[in-house]
Structure 1
Amino acid sequence: MQEQPFEVVPVAYVVGGRTEPTDDYWGGTRSIIRIDANRFGPDSTKSLEDFSHLEVVFRFHLTDVTDLNPGARRPRDNAVWPEVGIFGHRNMRRLNWLGVSRCRLAKVDGLDLHVEDLDAVDGTPILDIKPWFIEFGPRGEVHQADWTTEMLSDYFAPRHR
Protein backbone atom coordinates (compact mmCIF):
# COMPACT_ATOMS: atom_id res chain seq x y z
CA MET A 1 0.00 0.00 0.00
CA GLN A 2 1.44 3.33 -1.02
CA GLU A 3 1.05 6.50 1.06
CA GLN A 4 -0.79 9.21 -0.80
CA PRO A 5 -1.00 12.28 1.42
CA PHE A 6 -3.63 14.84 0.57
CA GLU A 7 -4.56 18.26 1.82
CA VAL A 8 -7.80 18.87 3.68
CA VAL A 9 -9.12 22.40 4.11
CA PRO A 10 -11.59 23.25 6.89
CA VAL A 11 -15.10 24.11 5.74
CA ALA A 12 -16.02 25.69 9.08
CA TYR A 13 -14.87 26.31 12.65
CA VAL A 14 -16.49 25.77 16.03
CA VAL A 15 -17.44 29.01 17.76
CA GLY A 16 -18.24 29.05 21.47
CA GLY A 17 -19.05 26.11 23.66
CA ARG A 18 -16.25 24.44 25.56
CA THR A 19 -12.71 25.77 25.49
CA GLU A 20 -10.93 22.76 27.02
CA PRO A 21 -11.21 19.19 25.75
CA THR A 22 -12.16 16.85 28.58
CA ASP A 23 -13.15 13.22 28.83
CA ASP A 24 -16.71 13.71 30.10
CA TYR A 25 -19.72 15.97 30.64
CA TRP A 26 -20.37 17.11 27.07
CA GLY A 27 -24.15 16.94 27.56
CA GLY A 28 -25.88 20.25 26.97
CA THR A 29 -22.81 21.85 25.38
CA ARG A 30 -24.01 24.45 22.91
CA SER A 31 -21.85 25.86 20.17
CA ILE A 32 -21.99 27.14 16.62
CA ILE A 33 -20.45 25.60 13.55
CA ARG A 34 -19.62 28.69 11.49
CA ILE A 35 -19.25 27.78 7.82
CA ASP A 36 -16.59 29.65 5.82
CA ALA A 37 -18.46 32.48 4.05
CA ASN A 38 -15.55 33.02 1.65
CA ARG A 39 -16.15 29.62 0.07
CA PHE A 40 -19.82 28.84 0.74
CA GLY A 41 -22.97 30.80 0.16
CA PRO A 42 -26.40 30.61 1.81
CA ASP A 43 -27.50 27.83 -0.54
CA SER A 44 -24.97 25.47 1.08
CA THR A 45 -27.27 25.07 4.11
CA LYS A 46 -30.57 25.02 2.20
CA SER A 47 -33.01 22.47 3.73
CA LEU A 48 -30.48 21.43 6.40
CA GLU A 49 -33.03 22.42 9.07
CA ASP A 50 -35.06 19.36 7.96
CA PHE A 51 -32.57 17.20 9.89
CA SER A 52 -32.35 16.80 13.66
CA HIS A 53 -28.71 15.67 13.79
CA LEU A 54 -25.43 16.21 12.01
CA GLU A 55 -22.36 14.07 11.62
CA VAL A 56 -19.28 16.27 11.90
CA VAL A 57 -15.69 15.42 10.95
CA PHE A 58 -13.11 17.60 12.68
CA ARG A 59 -9.41 17.87 13.47
CA PHE A 60 -8.12 17.47 17.01
CA HIS A 61 -6.18 20.76 16.75
CA LEU A 62 -5.15 21.03 20.43
CA THR A 63 -3.48 17.63 20.63
CA ASP A 64 0.22 17.42 21.35
CA VAL A 65 1.67 15.90 18.16
CA THR A 66 4.24 14.01 20.26
CA ASP A 67 1.37 12.20 22.02
CA LEU A 68 0.59 9.85 19.10
CA ASN A 69 0.05 6.32 20.36
CA PRO A 70 -0.32 3.89 17.42
CA GLY A 71 -0.07 0.78 19.58
CA ALA A 72 -2.15 -0.64 22.39
CA ARG A 73 -2.84 1.14 25.66
CA ARG A 74 -5.39 1.09 28.46
CA PRO A 75 -8.28 3.51 27.91
CA ARG A 76 -7.84 6.59 30.12
CA ASP A 77 -4.85 4.75 31.63
CA ASN A 78 -7.27 2.75 33.80
CA ALA A 79 -5.42 -0.38 34.98
CA VAL A 80 -8.74 -2.26 35.30
CA TRP A 81 -9.57 -1.96 31.61
CA PRO A 82 -7.80 -4.07 28.97
CA GLU A 83 -5.14 -2.85 26.59
CA VAL A 84 -6.77 -1.81 23.34
CA GLY A 85 -5.15 -1.04 19.99
CA ILE A 86 -5.40 2.38 18.37
CA PHE A 87 -8.29 1.33 16.12
CA GLY A 88 -10.28 0.19 19.17
CA HIS A 89 -10.22 3.75 20.57
CA ARG A 90 -11.99 6.94 19.50
CA ASN A 91 -9.53 9.32 21.14
CA MET A 92 -7.31 12.07 19.73
CA ARG A 93 -4.06 10.08 19.68
CA ARG A 94 -4.36 9.14 16.01
CA LEU A 95 -2.14 9.47 12.96
CA ASN A 96 -4.40 11.98 11.18
CA TRP A 97 -5.85 13.62 14.33
CA LEU A 98 -9.43 13.22 13.06
CA GLY A 99 -12.56 13.10 15.18
CA VAL A 100 -16.15 12.27 14.26
CA SER A 101 -19.12 13.45 16.29
CA ARG A 102 -22.88 13.29 16.01
CA CYS A 103 -24.66 16.30 17.42
CA ARG A 104 -28.14 17.76 17.52
CA LEU A 105 -28.88 20.56 15.08
CA ALA A 106 -30.89 23.15 17.02
CA LYS A 107 -31.08 25.91 14.39
CA VAL A 108 -29.73 27.00 11.02
CA ASP A 109 -29.03 30.73 10.83
CA GLY A 110 -27.50 31.37 7.42
CA LEU A 111 -24.03 29.83 7.63
CA ASP A 112 -24.20 29.41 11.42
CA LEU A 113 -25.30 25.97 12.56
CA HIS A 114 -26.37 26.05 16.20
CA VAL A 115 -25.64 22.63 17.68
CA GLU A 116 -25.80 20.77 20.99
CA ASP A 117 -23.59 17.97 22.29
CA LEU A 118 -20.80 18.50 19.75
CA ASP A 119 -17.71 17.21 21.52
CA ALA A 120 -15.32 19.63 19.86
CA VAL A 121 -14.03 22.84 21.43
CA ASP A 122 -14.06 26.50 20.42
CA GLY A 123 -11.76 27.02 17.43
CA THR A 124 -11.87 23.42 16.21
CA PRO A 125 -11.47 23.14 12.42
CA ILE A 126 -14.47 21.35 10.87
CA LEU A 127 -13.52 19.27 7.84
CA ASP A 128 -16.97 18.08 6.80
CA ILE A 129 -20.61 18.33 7.82
CA LYS A 130 -23.22 15.75 6.87
CA PRO A 131 -26.86 15.37 7.86
CA TRP A 132 -27.51 12.22 9.89
CA PHE A 133 -29.70 9.73 8.00
CA ILE A 134 -31.38 7.04 10.11
CA GLU A 135 -30.68 4.58 7.31
CA PHE A 136 -26.92 5.01 7.85
CA GLY A 137 -27.17 3.88 11.47
CA PRO A 138 -25.99 0.40 12.40
CA ARG A 139 -27.83 -2.52 10.86
CA GLY A 140 -28.24 -5.75 12.73
CA GLU A 141 -27.26 -6.45 16.30
CA VAL A 142 -24.85 -3.99 17.90
CA HIS A 143 -22.31 -4.96 20.55
CA GLN A 144 -19.26 -3.39 22.17
CA ALA A 145 -16.68 -4.11 24.83
CA ASP A 146 -18.02 -3.86 28.39
CA TRP A 147 -15.37 -1.31 29.47
CA THR A 148 -16.73 1.27 27.00
CA THR A 149 -20.10 1.46 28.75
CA GLU A 150 -18.40 2.08 32.09
CA MET A 151 -15.93 4.60 30.64
CA LEU A 152 -18.59 6.61 28.80
CA SER A 153 -21.28 6.62 31.50
CA ASP A 154 -20.79 10.39 32.04
CA TYR A 155 -19.66 11.36 28.54
CA PHE A 156 -22.92 13.10 27.60
CA ALA A 157 -24.02 13.82 31.16
CA PRO A 158 -24.65 17.51 31.89
CA ARG A 159 -21.50 19.40 32.82
CA HIS A 160 -20.92 19.90 36.53
CA ARG A 161 -20.91 23.56 37.44
Structure 2
Amino acid sequence: MPEESLTIIGYVRSSLQRRTDAPKQGFEGGVQACVELEPEFTAGLDGVRPGQDLLLFTWLHKARRDALLSHPRGDTSKPMAGVFSLRSPHRPNPVGMHRVRVLALDGSRLTVAPLEAIDGTPVVDIKPVLDAEGRPALPDAPSLPEADAAILREAGERAWARGLVSGFNGNLSLRRGKTMLITASGCAKGRLTQADIVHVRIADGTTLQGGPCSSETPMHLAVYRAVPGAQAIVHLHPRNLLALSLMVSEDRLLALPLYEASAYRREMAFVPALNPGSQELAQAVAAALVERKAVFMHGHGLTCRGRDVFSALHLAEELEGLATIQLLTLR
Protein backbone atom coordinates (compact mmCIF):
# COMPACT_ATOMS: atom_id res chain seq x y z
CA MET A 1 0.00 0.00 0.00
CA PRO A 2 1.49 3.43 -0.95
CA GLU A 3 2.46 5.63 1.99
CA GLU A 4 1.97 9.38 2.26
CA SER A 5 3.53 11.75 4.75
CA LEU A 6 2.23 14.69 6.78
CA THR A 7 4.07 17.93 7.39
CA ILE A 8 4.01 19.15 10.96
CA ILE A 9 3.23 22.88 10.90
CA GLY A 10 3.51 23.55 14.64
CA TYR A 11 2.99 22.31 18.18
CA VAL A 12 0.51 22.71 21.01
CA ARG A 13 1.75 24.46 24.17
CA SER A 14 -0.57 23.57 27.03
CA SER A 15 -0.81 23.12 30.78
CA LEU A 16 -2.06 19.58 30.07
CA GLN A 17 1.11 17.50 30.37
CA ARG A 18 -0.14 13.90 30.37
CA ARG A 19 -2.82 11.99 28.53
CA THR A 20 -4.55 11.34 31.83
CA ASP A 21 -4.81 15.12 32.38
CA ALA A 22 -6.72 15.67 29.16
CA PRO A 23 -10.51 15.53 28.83
CA LYS A 24 -11.91 13.49 25.98
CA GLN A 25 -13.48 16.54 24.29
CA GLY A 26 -12.69 20.22 24.47
CA PHE A 27 -16.09 21.15 25.86
CA GLU A 28 -15.56 18.71 28.75
CA GLY A 29 -12.77 20.73 30.33
CA GLY A 30 -10.42 21.84 27.58
CA VAL A 31 -8.06 24.63 28.58
CA GLN A 32 -6.69 27.81 27.07
CA ALA A 33 -3.59 26.85 25.13
CA CYS A 34 -1.27 28.10 22.42
CA VAL A 35 -0.45 26.81 18.98
CA GLU A 36 3.05 27.76 17.91
CA LEU A 37 3.56 27.47 14.16
CA GLU A 38 6.93 26.92 12.59
CA PRO A 39 8.10 30.24 11.08
CA GLU A 40 7.76 29.07 7.48
CA PHE A 41 4.01 28.54 7.96
CA THR A 42 3.16 31.90 9.57
CA ALA A 43 1.83 33.37 6.32
CA GLY A 44 -0.92 30.75 6.41
CA LEU A 45 -2.51 32.65 9.31
CA ASP A 46 -3.26 35.67 7.13
CA GLY A 47 -7.00 36.29 7.45
CA VAL A 48 -7.41 34.54 10.81
CA ARG A 49 -8.86 36.88 13.42
CA PRO A 50 -9.61 36.82 17.16
CA GLY A 51 -13.17 35.68 17.79
CA GLN A 52 -13.09 33.26 14.86
CA ASP A 53 -13.80 29.54 15.31
CA LEU A 54 -11.25 27.15 13.82
CA LEU A 55 -10.84 23.41 13.36
CA LEU A 56 -7.42 22.39 14.60
CA PHE A 57 -6.05 19.10 13.26
CA THR A 58 -3.38 17.40 15.32
CA TRP A 59 -1.29 14.24 15.13
CA LEU A 60 -2.04 12.24 18.28
CA HIS A 61 1.51 11.02 18.60
CA LYS A 62 0.93 8.96 21.75
CA ALA A 63 -1.96 6.96 20.32
CA ARG A 64 -1.75 3.35 19.10
CA ARG A 65 -1.93 2.92 15.33
CA ASP A 66 -2.74 -0.81 15.27
CA ALA A 67 -6.26 -0.47 16.71
CA LEU A 68 -9.37 -1.09 14.65
CA LEU A 69 -11.68 -1.77 17.61
CA SER A 70 -12.07 0.19 20.81
CA HIS A 71 -14.41 0.61 23.76
CA PRO A 72 -16.52 3.79 23.41
CA ARG A 73 -14.87 6.55 25.48
CA GLY A 74 -12.54 3.91 26.94
CA ASP A 75 -15.38 2.40 28.98
CA THR A 76 -14.60 -1.33 29.19
CA SER A 77 -18.15 -2.04 30.36
CA LYS A 78 -19.35 -1.21 26.85
CA PRO A 79 -18.85 -3.51 23.86
CA MET A 80 -16.07 -2.66 21.45
CA ALA A 81 -16.87 -0.92 18.18
CA GLY A 82 -14.95 -0.03 15.05
CA VAL A 83 -12.71 2.99 15.51
CA PHE A 84 -14.19 4.66 12.42
CA SER A 85 -17.49 4.90 14.31
CA LEU A 86 -15.82 6.43 17.39
CA ARG A 87 -13.72 9.43 18.38
CA SER A 88 -11.06 7.20 19.90
CA PRO A 89 -7.48 8.51 19.46
CA HIS A 90 -6.32 4.96 18.70
CA ARG A 91 -6.65 4.37 14.95
CA PRO A 92 -4.49 3.73 11.86
CA ASN A 93 -4.00 7.47 11.31
CA PRO A 94 -4.47 9.18 14.69
CA VAL A 95 -5.57 12.60 13.52
CA GLY A 96 -7.28 14.70 16.17
CA MET A 97 -9.89 17.33 15.29
CA HIS A 98 -10.55 20.13 17.77
CA ARG A 99 -12.98 23.03 17.47
CA VAL A 100 -11.46 26.07 19.16
CA ARG A 101 -11.97 29.81 19.28
CA VAL A 102 -9.12 32.20 18.57
CA LEU A 103 -8.50 34.40 21.62
CA ALA A 104 -5.37 36.16 20.39
CA LEU A 105 -2.94 36.12 17.48
CA ASP A 106 0.67 37.23 17.81
CA GLY A 107 2.81 36.46 14.79
CA SER A 108 3.07 32.68 14.55
CA ARG A 109 1.46 32.11 17.95
CA LEU A 110 -2.29 31.44 18.26
CA THR A 111 -3.99 31.50 21.66
CA VAL A 112 -7.10 29.30 21.56
CA ALA A 113 -9.68 27.65 23.81
CA PRO A 114 -10.98 25.15 24.71
CA LEU A 115 -8.30 22.67 23.66
CA GLU A 116 -7.92 19.14 25.06
CA ALA A 117 -4.64 18.24 23.29
CA ILE A 118 -1.64 17.78 25.57
CA ASP A 119 1.55 19.82 25.52
CA GLY A 120 3.81 19.02 22.58
CA THR A 121 1.08 17.58 20.35
CA PRO A 122 2.03 18.15 16.69
CA VAL A 123 -0.34 20.29 14.63
CA VAL A 124 -0.82 19.27 10.99
CA ASP A 125 -3.53 21.63 9.70
CA ILE A 126 -5.88 24.50 10.58
CA LYS A 127 -9.19 25.24 8.84
CA PRO A 128 -12.00 27.74 9.46
CA VAL A 129 -15.37 26.64 10.76
CA LEU A 130 -17.93 27.47 8.06
CA ASP A 131 -21.40 28.92 8.47
CA ALA A 132 -24.55 27.65 6.73
CA GLU A 133 -23.57 29.49 3.55
CA GLY A 134 -20.13 27.90 3.40
CA ARG A 135 -18.31 31.02 4.58
CA PRO A 136 -15.93 31.35 7.54
CA ALA A 137 -18.03 31.71 10.69
CA LEU A 138 -17.38 34.81 12.78
CA PRO A 139 -19.49 34.17 15.89
CA ASP A 140 -18.60 37.48 17.53
CA ALA A 141 -19.89 39.52 14.57
CA PRO A 142 -23.28 41.18 14.95
CA SER A 143 -26.05 39.09 13.45
CA LEU A 144 -27.70 40.36 10.29
CA PRO A 145 -31.27 41.52 11.04
CA GLU A 146 -33.85 39.91 8.78
CA ALA A 147 -35.66 43.26 8.50
CA ASP A 148 -32.58 44.88 6.94
CA ALA A 149 -32.11 41.96 4.57
CA ALA A 150 -35.76 42.33 3.53
CA ILE A 151 -35.25 46.05 2.83
CA LEU A 152 -32.29 45.37 0.55
CA ARG A 153 -34.13 42.53 -1.19
CA GLU A 154 -37.09 44.79 -1.93
CA ALA A 155 -34.83 47.59 -3.16
CA GLY A 156 -32.89 45.18 -5.37
CA GLU A 157 -36.08 43.79 -6.90
CA ARG A 158 -37.34 47.30 -7.58
CA ALA A 159 -34.07 48.46 -9.14
CA TRP A 160 -34.03 45.41 -11.41
CA ALA A 161 -37.71 45.84 -12.39
CA ARG A 162 -37.09 49.50 -13.32
CA GLY A 163 -34.10 48.64 -15.50
CA LEU A 164 -31.68 50.42 -13.17
CA VAL A 165 -29.54 47.29 -12.84
CA SER A 166 -29.18 44.15 -14.91
CA GLY A 167 -27.35 40.88 -14.50
CA PHE A 168 -24.88 41.18 -11.65
CA ASN A 169 -24.11 44.91 -11.88
CA GLY A 170 -24.82 47.63 -9.34
CA ASN A 171 -24.73 47.56 -5.54
CA LEU A 172 -26.86 48.75 -2.62
CA SER A 173 -26.01 49.55 0.98
CA LEU A 174 -27.48 50.69 4.30
CA ARG A 175 -25.73 52.47 7.15
CA ARG A 176 -26.32 50.77 10.49
CA GLY A 177 -24.56 52.70 13.24
CA LYS A 178 -20.81 52.27 12.78
CA THR A 179 -21.31 49.54 10.20
CA MET A 180 -22.90 49.12 6.80
CA LEU A 181 -24.73 46.32 5.05
CA ILE A 182 -23.78 46.03 1.37
CA THR A 183 -24.62 43.61 -1.41
CA ALA A 184 -21.94 41.02 -2.09
CA SER A 185 -19.83 40.69 -5.20
CA GLY A 186 -21.40 38.83 -8.11
CA CYS A 187 -24.99 38.67 -6.86
CA ALA A 188 -28.11 39.36 -8.93
CA LYS A 189 -29.84 42.37 -7.37
CA GLY A 190 -33.24 41.20 -8.53
CA ARG A 191 -32.92 37.96 -6.57
CA LEU A 192 -31.03 38.83 -3.40
CA THR A 193 -30.87 36.39 -0.51
CA GLN A 194 -29.59 36.95 3.02
CA ALA A 195 -26.35 35.26 1.95
CA ASP A 196 -25.81 38.08 -0.59
CA ILE A 197 -25.48 40.74 2.12
CA VAL A 198 -22.17 41.60 3.78
CA HIS A 199 -21.70 43.36 7.13
CA VAL A 200 -18.75 45.78 7.07
CA ARG A 201 -17.28 48.14 9.66
CA ILE A 202 -17.18 51.66 8.22
CA ALA A 203 -14.10 52.92 10.07
CA ASP A 204 -11.63 50.43 8.62
CA GLY A 205 -13.54 48.37 6.05
CA THR A 206 -13.28 45.13 8.04
CA THR A 207 -15.76 42.47 6.94
CA LEU A 208 -17.72 41.38 10.01
CA GLN A 209 -20.00 38.85 8.35
CA GLY A 210 -20.44 37.36 4.89
CA GLY A 211 -18.50 38.24 1.78
CA PRO A 212 -16.87 38.77 -0.59
CA CYS A 213 -17.83 42.44 -0.72
CA SER A 214 -18.86 44.33 -3.83
CA SER A 215 -15.95 45.77 -5.79
CA GLU A 216 -17.43 49.22 -5.14
CA THR A 217 -17.24 48.84 -1.36
CA PRO A 218 -14.52 51.56 -1.19
CA MET A 219 -16.96 54.06 -2.69
CA HIS A 220 -19.72 53.26 -0.20
CA LEU A 221 -17.27 53.50 2.70
CA ALA A 222 -15.90 56.82 1.46
CA VAL A 223 -19.40 58.31 1.18
CA TYR A 224 -20.47 57.16 4.66
CA ARG A 225 -17.28 58.61 6.15
CA ALA A 226 -17.66 61.94 4.34
CA VAL A 227 -21.44 62.41 4.60
CA PRO A 228 -22.84 61.71 8.09
CA GLY A 229 -26.40 62.20 6.83
CA ALA A 230 -26.12 59.46 4.21
CA GLN A 231 -28.08 56.47 5.50
CA ALA A 232 -28.24 54.50 2.25
CA ILE A 233 -26.45 54.39 -1.10
CA VAL A 234 -27.50 52.93 -4.44
CA HIS A 235 -25.00 52.49 -7.27
CA LEU A 236 -26.87 51.72 -10.47
CA HIS A 237 -26.41 51.38 -14.23
CA PRO A 238 -29.59 53.03 -15.58
CA ARG A 239 -29.73 52.12 -19.25
CA ASN A 240 -31.45 55.24 -20.61
CA LEU A 241 -29.29 57.68 -18.68
CA LEU A 242 -26.16 55.86 -19.84
CA ALA A 243 -27.38 55.78 -23.44
CA LEU A 244 -28.18 59.49 -23.33
CA SER A 245 -24.73 60.31 -21.96
CA LEU A 246 -23.22 58.79 -25.10
CA MET A 247 -25.35 61.01 -27.32
CA VAL A 248 -25.19 64.46 -25.72
CA SER A 249 -22.60 66.53 -23.89
CA GLU A 250 -22.58 66.81 -20.11
CA ASP A 251 -24.07 70.31 -20.16
CA ARG A 252 -27.03 69.04 -22.20
CA LEU A 253 -27.66 65.89 -20.15
CA LEU A 254 -31.21 66.18 -18.71
CA ALA A 255 -31.35 69.82 -19.86
CA LEU A 256 -35.09 69.79 -20.58
CA PRO A 257 -37.61 72.67 -20.44
CA LEU A 258 -39.40 70.97 -17.56
CA TYR A 259 -39.56 72.19 -13.97
CA GLU A 260 -38.67 68.80 -12.52
CA ALA A 261 -35.74 68.50 -14.93
CA SER A 262 -33.97 71.57 -13.58
CA ALA A 263 -34.83 70.68 -9.98
CA TYR A 264 -33.51 67.14 -10.19
CA ARG A 265 -30.53 68.08 -12.32
CA ARG A 266 -29.39 70.44 -9.57
CA GLU A 267 -29.18 67.40 -7.31
CA MET A 268 -26.71 65.66 -9.63
CA ALA A 269 -22.95 66.15 -9.83
CA PHE A 270 -20.61 64.68 -12.45
CA VAL A 271 -17.29 62.90 -12.15
CA PRO A 272 -15.03 61.86 -15.04
CA ALA A 273 -14.45 58.31 -16.18
CA LEU A 274 -12.36 56.66 -13.45
CA ASN A 275 -11.50 53.02 -12.91
CA PRO A 276 -14.37 51.11 -11.26
CA GLY A 277 -13.56 50.03 -7.72
CA SER A 278 -10.63 52.44 -7.44
CA GLN A 279 -9.88 54.76 -4.55
CA GLU A 280 -9.81 57.63 -7.05
CA LEU A 281 -13.43 56.96 -7.98
CA ALA A 282 -14.41 56.44 -4.34
CA GLN A 283 -12.94 59.77 -3.23
CA ALA A 284 -14.36 61.68 -6.21
CA VAL A 285 -17.88 60.38 -5.60
CA ALA A 286 -17.68 61.01 -1.85
CA ALA A 287 -16.52 64.59 -2.39
CA ALA A 288 -19.36 65.23 -4.84
CA LEU A 289 -22.00 63.75 -2.53
CA VAL A 290 -21.11 66.09 0.32
CA GLU A 291 -23.19 68.78 -1.45
CA ARG A 292 -25.29 66.75 -3.89
CA LYS A 293 -27.49 63.68 -3.61
CA ALA A 294 -26.57 62.06 -6.93
CA VAL A 295 -23.41 61.62 -8.97
CA PHE A 296 -23.24 60.60 -12.61
CA MET A 297 -20.01 58.72 -13.27
CA HIS A 298 -19.10 59.09 -16.94
CA GLY A 299 -18.79 55.77 -18.72
CA HIS A 300 -20.01 53.95 -15.65
CA GLY A 301 -23.33 54.73 -13.96
CA LEU A 302 -25.16 56.62 -11.24
CA THR A 303 -24.74 56.76 -7.46
CA CYS A 304 -27.38 58.28 -5.16
CA ARG A 305 -27.52 58.73 -1.40
CA GLY A 306 -30.57 59.15 0.78
CA ARG A 307 -32.11 59.08 4.24
CA ASP A 308 -33.07 55.49 3.41
CA VAL A 309 -32.54 53.17 0.47
CA PHE A 310 -35.90 53.96 -1.10
CA SER A 311 -35.38 57.73 -1.13
CA ALA A 312 -32.04 57.13 -2.88
CA LEU A 313 -33.77 54.78 -5.31
CA HIS A 314 -36.60 57.27 -5.95
CA LEU A 315 -34.07 59.93 -6.96
CA ALA A 316 -32.43 57.49 -9.37
CA GLU A 317 -35.84 56.64 -10.85
CA GLU A 318 -36.60 60.34 -11.40
CA LEU A 319 -33.29 60.90 -13.18
CA GLU A 320 -33.77 57.81 -15.33
CA GLY A 321 -37.31 58.95 -16.17
CA LEU A 322 -36.03 62.33 -17.35
CA ALA A 323 -33.38 60.58 -19.45
CA THR A 324 -36.13 58.52 -21.07
CA ILE A 325 -38.06 61.69 -21.97
CA GLN A 326 -34.95 63.32 -23.44
CA LEU A 327 -34.20 60.24 -25.52
CA LEU A 328 -37.72 60.44 -26.96
CA THR A 329 -37.13 64.06 -28.01
CA LEU A 330 -34.00 63.04 -29.91
CA ARG A 331 -35.76 60.56 -32.16
Aligned residue number for residue 103 of structure 2:
106
Note the alpha carbon deviations across 1:50-78, whole angstroms, 9 max, x for none.
Answer: 6521101111112255xx32135454234
Aligned residue number for residue 57 of structure 2:
57
Aligned residue number for residue 69 of structure 1:
67
Aligned residue number for residue 153 of structure 1:
none
Moved over 6 A (4+): none
Structure 2: distance between partners of 1:93 and 1:24: 13
Kindly report the root-mean-square deviation, in angstroms, between the aligned alpha carbons of the 2 structures: 2.4
Aligned residue number for residue 6 of structure 1:
4
Bigger radius of gyration: 2
Aligned residues: 130
Note the alpha carbon deviations across 1:9-28, whole angstroms, 9 max, x for none.
Answer: 10110012311223458535
> Comparing both chains, which one has the higher relative contact order based on Cα–Cα distances under 8 Å and sequence gaps of 6 or more?
1
Q: Structure 1 pair 92/73, CA: closer, same or farther in 2 (3 Å)?
A: same
Shift of 1:109: 0.9
Aligned residue number for residue 88 of structure 1:
85
Partner residue of 1:117 out of 114, 119, 134: 114
Q: Percent identity?
A: 24
SS of residue paired to 1:134: coil
CA contact (8 A) 1:59 1:126 kept: yes
Note the alpha carbon deviations across 1:89-127, whole angstroms, 9 max, x for none.
Answer: 111110011111111111111110100111211100000
Aligned residue number for residue 142 of structure 1:
none
Aligned residue number for residue 45 of structure 2:
45
Aligned residue number for residue 143 of structure 1:
none
Partner residue of 1:15 out of 13, 19, 31: 13
Task: Flag the structure with higher helix content.
Answer: 2
Shift of 1:84: 2.1
The TM-score normalised by the length of structure 2 is 0.36
The TM-score normalised by the length of structure 1 is 0.70
Q: Structure 1 pair 121/72, CA: closer, same or farther in 2 (3 Å)?
A: closer
CA contact (8 A) 1:13 1:124 kept: yes
